Amino acid sequence: MGIEYVGRDAIVETEQVAFTYQVSEVPRDFYKFKGESNNLDWNNQYNFIGDYYVYPYGSNNDLPDIIKEVIQNNYIAPGIIKKKTQLLWGSGPMLYTEEISEKGKPIRRWVRNETIQQWLESWDYEKYLLSCATDYNYMEGVFTKFILSKGNRIGKNFISKLEHCMIDRNRLAKHKASTSINPTHAIQTDWSFKKVNSLLDYKVYPLFDYNNPFGYRNSIFYSNMYSFCTDFYTVPDIYGSLEWLNRSTAVPLIFKALSKNSINLKYHIISPQAFWERKENEMKANCTLQGKTYTSSMLVEYQNKFLAKIAEVLSGDENTGKYLHTTKTFTVDGTNLIEHGWEIKVIDQNIKDFVEAQIKISQRADHALSSGIGLHSALGNVSETGKSDSGSEQLYALKNFLLTGVDIPEMIIMKPINYAIKANFPELKLKLGFYHEMPEKEEDITSSKRIKNAA
């Protein structure tokens, strides 16, 4: 028997039968992101490390890892996010002054200042900004380390450089003795604790104070988009599209099963998450009684054996008369009655209809994903037919993105570097921003400068 997993979903193949298997949870189906309480209810939670309270990012403190795994396993999501980063970047970062035009409208006057430019290039600011832009488009937040020059020790205050900090390795925290209701520090370590030393080899930094930019030798600043009724961290918009991502990722797996060795799927089995959580709790209790250490591989091994039993029941003429007995339970959630139970659906062997149904699911998932990421389908190359959208549709989508989708992300990404510029060069009153040119219709451009003739 062969079992191929994608998250909690799988394809099971034997000599007699093949079926797809899915673990389902209402209302969302995150194979790693589950806790005893509501998935978004982690505002008042905290963990301990040393002398600090650590505010977890997610109910299991692994939301960045979940976002990373779900997106990067998908066939289209990484490309859409990279496209959004490219559109936000435009022609790259440039210095500007803010002015008021003769018509009374705020405008940017793009300038070049050699003093600031030399400082920026001394620590590869473009690499830093590109990393921050990528983090923002995944998580809508950015961690930055401020590093002061050694002259700070003798009273010559100057921010030497900024350093991008990976969002999965940084958490907000506060000292146990602090009376503040807000975080006071940031802690860096491997929060997955895959290494034994992760719990010991951590670094603590005070949070950057923009009112006192030279107060600490090294400090960390978390710049982010505020999420409604969520303290400290951002819940990225793509969070609500994770289930669609899982469905989009599963479709190619099903097609792989159809083409691999010309096997035909006969069944689609859906099991309730509550079943596996109950079984996991039983196994943990048994390990405690026996003095053993529970590991997640134990549940996987049990699941493999369980699927093998299902395959044995479903396969072959000699099993006529055998059956799989399942039960269903119900949970009352407000006015909703939520059903938990096993389902075994026979897949019609009309492959054409089955394939077309899966393609429709994939297309719907792609559009839901594009909406969750916040990029028009015409810009993300997500169309109903698989062909590029018309030039006019792409043009208006791009104009709309430049008018409404750039300013806030730019403000959040540029906030640390603009704080540093203001602290180091207060007399210059300059800021850094992404330079964009508003696109024009081809018919409004001189023939020699049109895209088709540019080469």
The total number of structural domains in the chain stands at 2
Whether 95 maps to a domain, the answer reads yes
Report the DSSP beta bridge partners of residue 47.
54
Query: What pLDDT is stored for residue 321 in this prediction?
Result: 42
Q: Considering the domain boundaries, does residue 228 fall inside one?
A: yes
| pLDDT tens digit sequence for 358-409 | 788 777 887 777 777 888 877 876 655 555 556 677 888 888 888 888 999 9
CB neighbourhood size of 24 (10 A): 17
- For 12, the domain range is 1-31+267-346
Residues 19 and 54 placed together within one structural domain of the fold: no
The pLDDT, as a whole number, for residue 400 is 87
Rounded CA-CA distance 162/27 in Å is: 41
How do residues 86-121 score in pLDDT, each as one tens digit?
999 999 999 999 999 888 899 999 999 999 999 999
Please give the DSSP secondary-structure letter assigned to residue 201: S
Domain-embedded: residue 278: yes
Cβ atoms < 10 Å from Cβ of 277 = 14
pLDDT at 43: 77
User: Domain for residue 335, yes or no?
Assistant: yes
- Provide φ and ψ at 13, rounded to 5°: -130, 125
Question: Residue 412 CB: number of other CB atoms within 10 A?
Answer: 20
**Same domain? 151 vs 276:** no
Q: Looking at the structure, tell me whether residues 206 and 274 fall in a common domain.
A: no
- Identify the pLDDT of residue 337: 43
Q: What is the mean pLDDT of the chain?
A: 80
- Grade residue 8 by pLDDT with cuts at 50, 70 and 90: low
Mark which of 346, 378, 399 sits at the end of a domain.
346
Q: How far is CA 309 from the centre of its chain?
A: 36
Instruction: Assess whether 102 and 179 both reside in one domain.
Output: yes
Q: In this predicted structure, what is the pLDDT of residue 189? A: 92
Using CA atoms, how far residue 177 sits from 180, 181, 401, in Å, is 9, 12, 46
233 and 274 belong to one structural domain: no
Mean pLDDT of the 67-71 span: 89
| Contact between 32 and 60 (Cβ < 8 Å) | yes
Which one is predicted more confidently, 30 or 419? Answer: 419
Q: Is the pLDDT of residue 3 over 90?
A: no
Share above pLDDT 90 across residues of the chain, in percent, rounded to a whole number? 37
pLDDT category of residue 257 using cuts at 50, 70 and 90 = low
Q: Is it the case that residue 444 has pLDDT exceeding 60? A: no
The highest-confidence range among 154-163, 209-218, 284-293, by mean pLDDT, is 209-218
Does 424 map to a domain? yes
Residue 129 has a pLDDT of 97
> In terms of domains, do 290 and 326 share one?
yes
| Whether residue 284 sits in one domain with residue 331 | yes
Report the C-alpha gap between 177 and 185 in whole angstroms: 12
Q: What does R_g of the chain's alpha carbons equal in angstroms?
A: 27
Is 111 strand, coil or helix? strand
* Residues 138, 214 within the same domain: yes
185-194, 237-246, 301-310, 411-420: which has the highest mean pLDDT? 411-420
Residues 2 and 94 placed together within one structural domain of the fold: no
What percentage of the chain carries pLDDT values higher than 70?
76
Q: Are 294 and 172 part of one and the same domain?
A: no
pLDDT mean over 405-433: 95
Same domain, residue pair 126 and 193: yes
For 30, the 3-state DSSP assignment is coil
In a domain, 209, yes or no: yes
Same domain, 198 and 153: yes
Does any domain span residue 452?
no
How confident is the model over 265-289, as pLDDT tens digits? 677 777 777 778 888 889 989 998 9
Cβ-contact 141, 167 below 8 angstroms: yes
What is the four-CA torsion angle of 411, 415, 417, 418, rounded to 10 degrees? 80
Query: Residue 147 in 3-state DSSP?
Result: strand
Asked if the structure places residue 454 within a domain, the reply is: no
